[in-house]
Amino acid sequence: MARLDRQFTQAVLVTGASGGIGRAICLAFAAVGWFVGVHYYRNKTAAESTLAQVVDAGGTGTLYQADIRERHSVKQMVEASCRQTPVPSVFVCNAGIGGGHLLLRQDEEDWAHVLATNLTGTFHCLRAMAPPLLAHGGGSIVVIGSHAGFHGSSGQAAYAASKAGLIGLVHTAAQEWGAGNVRVNLLLPGWQKTELTTGIMPADDNWSDHALGRPPSREEVAQTVVHLAQLHDVSGQVWNCDSRNL
């Protein structure tokens, strides 16, 4: 934990925050003065780097370790975050993995691993995150999806299927928890240079399917997450952060 000398009135917990998009989201919340819960699974060193950058950006926070594939691990993480002051009013479900195999070469073990992390893991997160939000009069959950969930992606059968499942999961959660003022939305971050996109990200001159001819910046995506999380009258929606059509 860091910077307890300063009073923070709002808190967020971000899963998959040890790098990439998750780290950028943490920094965006820190920049507007939030307490940031930084989740990681295995890479504690990278998560510690995220937390250090959160402090440098003007925020504070703490680390949480959990395997989102395991229900009890997620439950313990969320309960620990809710023992902090302030209690999180926003949760960001960003943790996920890739998996590059053509459909006819996709083995069942890899398939199950991707779905267990990206889809079932998010299911565990939503089920753990909703009760404290409902108990405190509402809040926001932002789930990070993918364009592949709408249109598929050659060589990414398991990944695309897992992200497609998030669409129905988010819509259902929004309908079920709306009466308790819990907003649940899906955000598509577009192409980002991360470990997940190594070797598959389009070349710099191959953005013809983007109206603007370029991918979105990571910082703009992160700022959009912060904005969406604070909207009180928006739920069950899909926010596309690049210039492709859905």
Question: Looking at residue 214, which CATH number applies to its domain?
Answer: 3.40.50.720
Residue 34 has pLDDT above 50, yes or no: yes
Structural domain includes residue 208: yes
Q: Which residue has the higher pLDDT, 134 or 6?
A: 134
Annotated catalytic residue, options 40, 41, 64, 159: 159
> What average pLDDT does range 25-47 have in this prediction?
97
Residue 36, domain member (yes or no):
yes
pLDDT at 155: 87
Name the average pLDDT for the chain: 90
> Percent of the chain at pLDDT above 70?
88
pLDDT in tens, 138-188: 999 999 999 898 888 888 899 999 999 999 999 999 999 999 999 999 999
pLDDT given for residue 195 in this prediction: 62
Residue 41: active-site member: no
- Tell me whether residue 188 is in a domain: yes
Q: Which of 28, 35, 151, 48 is nearest to 88 (CA)?
A: 35
Q: Domain range for residue 202?
A: 11-240
Model confidence at 4, pLDDT cuts 50, 70, 90, reads very low
pTM for the predicted model, two decimal places: 0.91
Confidence at residue 5, expressed as pLDDT on a 0 to 100 scale = 47
Per residue in 221-231, pLDDT tens?
A: 999 999 999 99
On whether residue 4 sits in a domain, the answer given is: no
Residue 5 in domain: no
User: Is the residue at 207 inside a domain?
Assistant: yes
pLDDT at 47: 98
Total structural domains in the chain? 1
Residue 191 lies in a domain: yes
Q: Would you say residue 1 lies in a domain?
A: no
Q: What is the pLDDT of residue 192?
A: 67
Indicate if the pLDDT at residue 69 is higher than 60. yes
